Amino acid sequence: MSQSQATLLFVDDEERILRSLDMAFRHRYRVLTANDGQAALSLLEREKVDVIISDQKMPRMTGVEFLREARQLRPDAIRILLTGYSELSGVVGSINEGEIFRYIQKPWHLQDFRDAIASAVSVGQQTADLPQAAAVSGRASMVVLHRSPALADFITEKRPQVQTWAAADFDQALALLDEHPEAMLLTDLHLPEGDIGDALSLLKQHRPELVMVILTRFSDTQELTRLINRVQVYRVLPIPLSRNMLLSSLDSAVRHQALLLHNPTLRKRHQVHNQGDLPMNGLLTRVKRYFSGKTAVME
């Protein structure tokens, strides 16, 4: 199927925005629009859609709530969320509930928007009709990068079926991921070494199949936006950490990892764009050495 045949569904409560989006994309795609979540869900019941693009701030049903329902109806569809800088809960929800492909901030740049849609269409069509759930068999594994070894001990106690390794620092985490390529990564975003967001972005470029669960304090919307668009994190958990939320997210991550292992093509849904020249700090240097086959050393 060519991109010109792809179907997009835009959901926004402002008719002016829907008209603008229709005009911007109808020359290349088949465009459907809905002015609220319920109308969009009705459309999805009878229409096959490749990419769903929803505003977050809508009456009666938010974008995250809609995308969660849309995921059940059309799991193959790629999901994109539109939202403003201040809608922090929407950013978090889109990661943990909607499992979106990209996050686009308002006001958007049209060319960036077009590029995101083209990427979503391409990935969606390459991974269409693949199973979206997998039975978990065998032993899952996880690298835990956290300043307290008690976190890894807790996971081992509560989820003994998940082989868990504790990493004392970022270098050891890289070494463990190299030794155990099917392992997931649970990490604090802010370590004594500094913010590891850029390093995780580079890691994800080379390992799109890596399922990441991030621990952080919800204080910066732009930081969370980066986690979606540049790192494609699977879950974001708040600090202080809820043990029940941790275990629930871990169970979900295990199922998702099993799905990716059984269907490698689905990894395309977790690819991130090349970020170009990232600031050269010690962490990034070590990640680059890791992927160039050299020994990562402390600087």
Q: What is the pLDDT of residue 187?
A: 94
Q: What is the fold of 140-291? A: Rossmann fold (3.40.50)
Instruction: Measure the CA–CA gap between 96 and 92, rounded to whole angstroms.
Output: 6
269 in Cβ contact with 277 (< 8 Å):
no
User: In the structure, what pLDDT confidence band is assigned to residue 228 with cuts at 50, 70 and 90?
Assistant: confident
What percentage of residues in the chain have a pLDDT greater than 90? 38
User: In the structure, what pLDDT confidence band is assigned to residue 66 with cuts at 50, 70 and 90?
Assistant: very high
Question: The whole model's pTM is what?
Answer: 0.74
At 142-183, the pLDDT tens digits run 999 998 889 999 999 999 999 999 999 988 999 899 899 899
Q: What is the pLDDT of residue 31?
A: 97
At 24-39, the pLDDT tens digits run 999 999 999 999 999 9
Please determine whether the domains at 3-126 and 140-291 fall in the same fold group of CATH. Answer: yes
Instruction: Measure the CA–CA gap between 44 and 74, rounded to whole angstroms.
Output: 7
For residues 91-107, give the mean pLDDT: 72
Taking all residues of the chain, what is their mean pLDDT, rounded to a whole number?
82
Q: What is the pLDDT of residue 125?
A: 80
> Is 80 exceeded by the pLDDT of residue 203?
yes
The CATH superfamily assigned to 3-126 is Response regulator (3.40.50.2300)
233 in Cβ contact with 214 (< 8 Å):
yes
Parallel, antiparallel or unpaired: strands 190-191 and 194-195: antiparallel
170 in Cβ contact with 145 (< 8 Å):
yes
CA distances from 70 to 49, 88, 124 (A): 10, 21, 15
> Is 70 exceeded by the pLDDT of residue 3?
no
296 versus 53: which is more confidently predicted?
Answer: 53
> Is 70 exceeded by the pLDDT of residue 234?
yes
Where do the H-state alpha helices sit in 31-96? 37-46, 63-73, 88-93
Q: What is the pLDDT of residue 280?
A: 47
At 115-147, the pLDDT tens digits run 989 988 988 887 766 555 555 555 799 999 998
Lowest mean pLDDT among 101-110, 203-212, 243-252, 258-267: 258-267
**Per-domain residue ranges for the chain?**
3-126, 140-291
